[in-house]
Homo-oligomer: A and B are copies of this chain.
Amino acid sequence: MTEPKTPDAAATTGPAKKHSRSGKSNATIYDIAKVAGVNPSTVSRALSKPGRVSAKTQKLIEDAAAELNYQVNPFARALPTGRTNTFGLIVADITNPTFFDIIRGAETTATLRDYTMVLAESAESGVTELTAARRMMATVDGLILASPRMDDDDIRTIARDKPVVVINREVDGVPCVVPDVNKGISEAVRSLAGNGHHKVAFVAGPPQSWMSARRWEGVQAACEWSRLEAVRLESTKPTVDGGRQVARDVRASGATAVLTYNDLLAIGLMQELQAAGMVIPDQISIVGFDDIFGADFTTPPLTTVRSPLGECGSGAATLLLDLLHGDLPRGTGETAATLRVETELVLRGSSGRLLPAG
């Protein structure tokens, strides 16, 4: 006979062409409209404009939607509105653990607020970064740049088109999330001074790094305050390898304590110095920045100025999402909102009292 009462169970043709269409979640507002006996536009309103339709109709529609297992088609929505419920995160280096917590913080906030995060990396290059940003522009509502390498003007250009939040850097007119290095650094330098050190070296990071400059300034200021001598050394790249390479300069500098631009450098430096027979912290103290994953794996564990990276990530995402929803901080005039987070010294074994040379 002709199909008793299971009109849909009639998948007669068999699994014709695998997952071509089967998966497309199919119910549309038109289907809902039919079931609920209203006009599609009413469905649209019920689902996105709270209070625009009567409570009765609302319920009718919601029930129908639930029954049909309806899900909005993000593309159909994005087309006329331009809103995509997506933001982009660009980091300088995906494998640099500094960014892990930032990524996680941002992702968590995204999911929480029903946004999707797309990730891209700039490979520490300003050009690649700009390309990635441009590529994203078309598909996202806003952008988070973590430790951007492009110049201020490029950032501002992008910010003119889409909301942008910057992490680890301050750019005029763009909302930023920056760890305030002063507290952490002054704690670190005071600790070193208390341990009998007189000459401190700072190993700088990439020249384009805004944060590297801030840290160097902070170290200089703190040293002046504590009446220590501060010298600056350059690194080739902000990695473990770069840390190894700078060991030579560190020894030549005569400093008994070293602060490095980041933990990676500190770890590499420590490895190289130890390989050369130096005892840490008896002969030289080492302090890193960030407190990345693995900073406490070393022997001795690394003393470091911690930045709350996860907080930076979630803070940036929150800032961006608030911006997108128009909860923009009023009263700030033309100056963009800047979120400052605290840094603190994490005292571990790689820094300590200087032993008299034997």
**Would you call B119 and A119 a contact (CB within 8 A)?**
yes
A282 to chain B, nearest CB (A): 16
**Would you call A22 and B78 a contact (CB within 8 A)?**
no
**Would you call A104 and B95 a contact (CB within 8 A)?**
yes
**Would you call B120 and A111 a contact (CB within 8 A)?**
yes
Instruction: Give Cα A114 to B107, complex, Å.
Output: 22
Instruction: Give Cα A162 to B19, complex, Å.
Output: 6
Determine whether A103 belongs to the interface, using a CB cutoff of 8 Å to chain B.
yes
Contact of A107 among B24, B119, B267 (CB under 8 A): B119
Query: Known: A84-B75, A163-B19. Contact between A119 and B120, CB under 8 A?
Result: no
Chain A, interface SS category: mixed
Determine whether A231 belongs to the interface, using a CB cutoff of 8 Å to chain B.
no
Query: Which residues of B are found within 8 Å of A39, using beta-carbon distances?
Result: none
Contact of A75 among B72, B78, B132, B159 (CB under 8 A): B78
Query: Which residues of B are found within 8 Å of A116, using beta-carbon distances?
Result: 118, 135-136, 139
Query: Which residues of B are found within 8 Å of A22, using beta-carbon distances?
Result: 160-161
Query: Which residues of B are found within 8 Å of A101, using beta-carbon distances?
Result: 95
CB contacts under 8 Å to B, within A278-305, are 293-294, 297-299
Residue of B nearest to A104 (CB): B94
Instruction: Give Cα A104 to B94, complex, Å.
Output: 6
**Would you call A94 and B103 a contact (CB within 8 A)?**
yes
Determine whether A152 belongs to the interface, using a CB cutoff of 8 Å to chain B.
no
Query: Which residues of B are found within 8 Å of A298, using beta-carbon distances?
Result: 297-299
Instruction: Give Cα A341 to B18, complex, Å.
Output: 28
Question: Could you list which residues of chain A lie within 8 angstroms of chain B, going by C-beta atoms?
Answer: 18-19, 22-25, 71-76, 78-79, 82, 84, 86, 94-95, 97, 100-101, 103-104, 107-108, 111, 116-121, 132, 135-139, 159-163, 267, 293-294, 297-299
For this complex, 27 residue pairs linking A to B, each with C-beta atoms less than 8 Å apart, are A19-B159, A19-B160, A19-B161, A19-B163, A23-B160, A25-B137, A25-B138, A25-B161, A71-B138, A72-B138, A74-B138, A75-B75, A76-B79, A94-B100, A94-B103, A94-B107, A95-B293, A97-B100, A107-B120, A107-B121, A116-B135, A117-B120, A119-B119, A293-B294, A294-B297, A298-B298, A299-B299
